[in-house]
Structure 1
């Protein structure tokens, strides 16, 4: 399969909503998508630890069925932590995933401290990192 590098913001979701955690047999099973963002930002794991997302061309748009991973990569991109990702170009997606959407709704709380801070205060990655450091310092003081 051919590979390409794309910005997460160039890729569309193939569903209107996603579950807030991973299912299946991966090492991330049961982990919330927001906690996974935290793990990457805090260097507990790396973007390369995740399988590449598969994309298909629909007209002038790239679309993926790997919607939870795309949500993570788009969140990282919005925090200034991920400019491009390596993707696998495939011929078609599952027929059930026929939406082409720039945004997706997370069913339930996505979890994660960085996502919570980003939602509430619309901070840049570095401001979020600073706020997280202060939270950890305060927690150690009491």
Structure 2
């Protein structure tokens, strides 16, 4: 088996929906996926604490059947908490690929749980929106905004 480091955004889901909790037999058995994301965001757990996902390239695109882990890692990447994740290149059973949207999106069945990632996501969205200046969109750098997002609050939002 070959190990790689990939950005989560380059990996697609094999399903259209996932359960909001990790299944039995996994290290995070019964834990809500949003709570695991909270643990990663706050540093209580690392992305390397999750078992590496198995990926396969299908028609030039990486897919993983480990969709709950992939959801957590994609959200962590969106929040700037990780960029590359360890994966192992393997084989997926074609019957595992049941997505109707080419694996670009996934629906979480039930409440994913967690609180911190939701607050950070909401706050992060404010920083990612383009500023308007004299009717034109102005790009703003997001450098430095990914350092310690757990301590950022609305009151500490930079003034533009």
- Identify the range of structure 1 (16-25 vs 86-95) with the bigger mean alpha-carbon deviation: 86-95
Structure 2 equivalent of residue 131 of structure 1: 153
Alignment gaps of 5+ in structure 2: 127-144
Scaled by the length of structure 1, what TM-score is found?
A: 0.83
Task: Please list the CA deviations of residues 21-41 of structure 1 after superposition, one character each: whole Å capped at 9, or x if unmatched.
Answer: 111122311111111011111
Structure 1 equivalent of residue 119 of structure 2: 117
The reply to whether residue 37 of structure 1 matches residue 59 of structure 2 is no
Structure 1's consecutive aligned runs of 4 or more residues displaced over 3 angstroms after TM superposition are: 118-121, 123-129
* DSSP-derived class of the 1:95 partner: helix
Structure 2 equivalent of residue 56 of structure 1: 56
Do the aligned partners of residues 26 and 74 (structure 1) sit closer, same or farther apart at CA in structure 2, a change above 3 Å counting? same
Scaled by the length of structure 2, what TM-score is found?
A: 0.74
The reply to whether residue 66 of structure 1 matches residue 88 of structure 2 is no
Task: Please list the CA deviations of residues 49-101 of structure 1 after superposition, one character each: whole Å capped at 9, or x if unmatched.
Answer: 11100001110100000000000000000000110111111123361333231
Do the aligned partners of residues 119 and 47 (structure 1) sit closer, same or farther apart at CA in structure 2, a change above 3 Å counting? closer
Structure 1 equivalent of residue 15 of structure 2: 15
Write the distance in 2 (CA, Å) between the matches of 1:33 and 1:20.
6
Do the aligned partners of residues 51 and 94 (structure 1) sit closer, same or farther apart at CA in structure 2, a change above 3 Å counting? farther
**Pairwise CA RMSD of aligned residues?**
2.2
Do the aligned partners of residues 92 and 26 (structure 1) sit closer, same or farther apart at CA in structure 2, a change above 3 Å counting? closer
With a CA cutoff of 8 Å and minimum separation of 6, indicate the structure with the bigger relative contact order. Answer: 1
Write the distance in 1 (CA, Å) between the matches of 2:69 and 2:94.
16
Query: Aligned pairs, how many?
Result: 133
- Identify the range of structure 1 (114-123 vs 21-30) with the bigger mean alpha-carbon deviation: 114-123
- Identify the range of structure 1 (46-55 vs 88-97) with the bigger mean alpha-carbon deviation: 88-97
